[in-house]
A and B are shown apart, each in its own frame.
Chain A
């Protein structure tokens, strides 16, 4: 029994000595927790050392804001113009009642020329599509 106690006491004293040798004077004995945590992140955290992290903000600047608003208005108007052109709207009045296609002077003249409105004139496109015409 005495032998077992002696061996275990010896074991614990050796463990204590080795543990205390690992610690610097006044070092926190729990340092290993933090070390383990940061050992895993070290690569990602230090990858951008010596560089500038851009964390800028937008300052209140009267002239800059005015210029930006002007640019935005310009872009909006341009976008509006593009949309209207795409949908065949009138630039100024849109397609309201007073701006229908039949009010256009070209509307009644669209089946060219001098036809009696019974047959639609496809112009010179269709004949070219008929295979026999090439011979």
Chain B
């Protein structure tokens, strides 16, 4: 009897240890809202992208530009996004969604900037000595941007004991490259109440 009890307890204990150590991973829909820690997450990034895309493509700066430039589509370059919040947030997750909407909607033209542009120029330089004359791309033919898109992420944290309210504000600004005139400002505000 004692032996049976010992074996049963051992099996149960081993089972508990195994189940507590085993990791379970399941694929979920990226649009599903799951909040775990209360920090910035994929849902916030998606909400910011959706709201800002609607704002930037729906406002009058595009029509104004086309009216002044004989129907030409505006050319935009993406500048810096400064994260001035209290968390590490990579703006690229929602900025790429906005860029994608530019290309897909065909309302706005987009040019490459930063490190990727450097890479393009390096590749073009390489072509000057390695590619055939007919396929070699020329320098000095880049499309100049009409507007630069810049932004910032700010946050306010109000906490006491186990309660916390976190407020995020994402601002994007579109500025005329020649005149420095800001032609569009968009924002997305997210507030979260976290109770631990």
Q: Contact residues of A with B, CB < 8 Å?
A: 46-63
Contacts and interface: CB of A to CB of B under 8 A. Distances in A.
Contact of B86 (A46, A48, A57, A62): A57
A49 B78 contact: yes
Contacts of B118: 47
Interface residues of B, number: 32
B77 A49 contact: yes
A91 to B, nearest CB: 32
Contacts of B86: 56-59
Contacts of B79: 49-50
A58 B116 CA distance: 32
6 contacts: A46-B113, A47-B115, A48-B115, A49-B80, A50-B113, A63-B159
B3 to A, nearest CB: 43
Given A52-B80, A62-B164, 16 more contacts: A47-B114, A47-B118, A50-B92, A50-B113, A51-B80, A51-B92, A52-B82, A52-B83, A52-B89, A54-B83, A55-B82, A55-B84, A56-B88, A58-B86, A59-B159, A61-B159
Interface of B: 77-92, 95, 113-118, 153, 155, 157, 159-162, 164, 196
Given A55-B83, A56-B87, A49 B113 contact: yes
A54 B90 CA distance: 8
Nearest to B115: A47
Contacts of B116: 50
Contacts of A62: 159-162, 164
A54 B91 CA distance: 10
A107 B134 CA distance: 92
Nearest to B155: A59
Contacts of B95: 50
